[in-house]
């Protein structure tokens, strides 16, 4: 089984923290939809006949599209790929949740909405330059539920520099009271080519220090656990039966095809990405050329990437997988370090896998990199 990720590179406006690939102009929308459909056709052999289990519309803001655009893409998927769909997710912004759109998405087979809430407080939404209001954040899930949607994710941002943690606790309380079943929560990060990055460079914005962010992460762990959510990946929390199947497959190293500009793909062995330019992407596909460049992964790359990804999850690093697939005996080669990290309360291990503790999840990337092969 495999998945398809579809990158829709359009947004109403640029969020101040976002460094994903997108455009605020819809001038090339029709050509882009045609190019995405062409790529789905040209790359029909990439997944080697595997059945498609999940489809994920990301971006950008997929909810900005008209229903006919989404329908055309889905029809193309079914025309050139074998599907046994168990989950079809669409990222949506609260301001796009009209009754008409929700009904259309439901009729097209979309059964899960990932809602870009970020915060329930207007001052923070304004600072982030989000297009929706706090009221629209509060009403989003109710509007979708009225049209029959049952599976949700809410995106939230923590780590906004403040004098206390009250605002973050309030956001979490509201989100959990809405009972979405799934939360994806990310620390506010200053990326170079964003408004936040420019402000930080000029000295007009200073991001929160690591200790402040760590406290908000611990608050997140505490609140979600009390409400019956499992932290199944460092940034993702879900109730039983509510895990994101598509994203879980990423973390389990299951193959996926990524279409659209800047999208990544993984065939089970190597990965690569599409060109990060709308005009070039469209031009290449109009000439029946794939705008994709494969990145060969060495054995060391595969080991380190697997450790970095798997240790972020509840399933941890599978020691048998490392031995049988990558010829890497983690316990034999890193046992002293593993025992030391275990004593420090950062990880747990047995003969089958290595997993992070709550404390270890605060330092997930550092722990993983310490275990990398040389």
Q: What is the pLDDT of residue 112?
A: 98
Q: Which residue has the tokens 């009403």?
A: 139
Q: How far is CA 116 from CA 61, 133, 196, 260, 372, in A?
A: 9, 12, 19, 20, 34
How far is the C-alpha of 57 from the C-alpha of 92, rounded, in Å?
A: 9
State the residue for tokens 């997710």. 89
Task: Check: CB of residue 183 under 8 Å from CB of residue 243.
Answer: no
* Long-range residue pairs from 237-240, CB within 8 A, at least 24 positions apart, any chain: 237/182, 237/183, 237/184, 237/185, 238/181, 238/182, 238/183, 239/181, 239/182
What's the DSSP call for residue 109?
Answer: T
pLDDT computed for residue 374 by the predictor: 80
Give the strand pairing for 112-118 and 151-158.
parallel
| Residue 198 to residue 204: CA distance in whole angstroms | 9
Tokens coding 190: 């200053």
CA distances from 97 to 114, 140, 171, 222 (A): 12, 7, 21, 31
| Residue 92 main-chain phi, psi, to 5 deg | -140, 145
Distance from first CA to last CA of the chain, Å, rounded? 33
CA distance 58 to 2: 17
The residue to which tokens 């969020």 are assigned? 15
Tokens of 182: 């799934």
- What is the rounded CA–CA span in Å between residue 303 and residue 307? 6
Q: Which residues are paired to 274 by β-bridges?
A: 292
Q: What are the φ/ψ torsions at residue 155 (nearest 5 degrees)? A: -90, 130
3-state secondary structure of 114: strand
* pLDDT by 10s per residue, the chain, length 374: 999 999 999 999 999 999 999 999 999 999 999 999 999 999 999 999 999 999 999 999 999 999 999 999 999 999 999 999 999 999 999 999 999 999 999 999 999 999 999 999 999 999 999 999 999 999 999 999 999 999 999 999 999 999 999 999 999 999 999 999 999 999 999 999 999 999 999 999 999 999 999 999 999 999 999 999 999 999 999 999 999 999 999 999 999 999 999 999 999 888 999 999 999 999 999 999 999 999 989 999 999 999 999 999 999 999 999 999 999 999 999 999 999 999 999 999 999 999 999 999 999 999 999 999 98
Compute the distance between CA of residue 58 and CA of residue 73 in angstroms, rounded to an integer: 13
Tell me, rounded to whole angstroms, the distance of Cα 308 from its chain centroid.
15
Q: Could you give the domains of the chain?
A: 2-251 (3.20.20.70), 299-370 (1.10.10.920)
Q: How far apart are CA 132 and CA 93, in angstroms?
A: 7
**Stated pTM of the model:** 0.97
- Nearest Cα to 80, choosing from 38, 43, 44? 44
Half-sphere exposure of 320 (CA within 13 A, CB side): 4
Inter-axis angle of helices 299-310 and 319-326, nearest 10: 160
């Amino acid at each position: 089984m495999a998945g398809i990720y579809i990158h829709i590179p359009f947004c109403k406006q640029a969020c101040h923290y976002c460094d994903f690939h997108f455009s605020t102009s819809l001038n090339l929308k029709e050509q882009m939809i045609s190019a995405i459909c062409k790529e789905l056709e040209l790359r029909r052999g990439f997944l080697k006949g595997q059945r498609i289990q999940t489809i994920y519309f990301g971006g950008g803001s997929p909810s900005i599209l008209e229903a006919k655009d989404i329908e055309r893409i889905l029809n193309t998927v079914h025309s050139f790929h074998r599907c046994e769909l168990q989950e079809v997710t669409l990222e949506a912004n609260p301001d796009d949740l009209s009754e008409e759109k929700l009904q259309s998405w439901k009729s097209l087979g979309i059964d899960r909405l990932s809602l870009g809430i970020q915060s329930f407080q207007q001052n923070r939404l304004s600072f982030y330059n989000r297009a929706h209001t706090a009221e629209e954040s509060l009403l989003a899930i109710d509007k979708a539920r009225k049209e029959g949607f049952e599976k949700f994710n809410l995106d939230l941002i923590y780590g906004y520099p403040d004098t206390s943690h009250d605002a973050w606790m309030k956001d979490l309380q509201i989100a959990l009271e809405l009972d979405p079943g799934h939360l994806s929560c990310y620390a506010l990060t200053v990326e170079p080519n964003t408004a936040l990055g420019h402000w930080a460079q000029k000295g007009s914005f200073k991001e929160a220090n690591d200790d402040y962010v760590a406290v908000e992460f611990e608050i997140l762990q505490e609140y979600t656990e009390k409400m019956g959510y499992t932290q199944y990946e460092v940034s993702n929390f879900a109730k039983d039966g509510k895990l994101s199947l598509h994203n879980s497959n990423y973390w389990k190293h299951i193959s996926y095809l990524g279409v659209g500009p800047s999208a990544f793909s993984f065939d089970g062995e190597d990965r690569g990405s599409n060109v990060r330019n709308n005009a070039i992407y469209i031009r290449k596909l109009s000439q029946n050329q794939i705008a994709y460049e494969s990145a060969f992964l060495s054995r060391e790359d595969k080991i380190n990437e697997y450790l970095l990804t798997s240790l972020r999850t509840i399933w941890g690093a599978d020691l048998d997988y490392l031995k049988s697939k990558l010829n890497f005996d983690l316990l034999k080669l890193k046992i002293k370090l593993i025992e030391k990290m275990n004593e420090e309360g950062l990880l747990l291990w047995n003969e089958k896998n290595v997993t992070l503790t709550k404390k270890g999840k605060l330092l997930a990337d550092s722990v993983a990199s310490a275990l990398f092969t040389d």
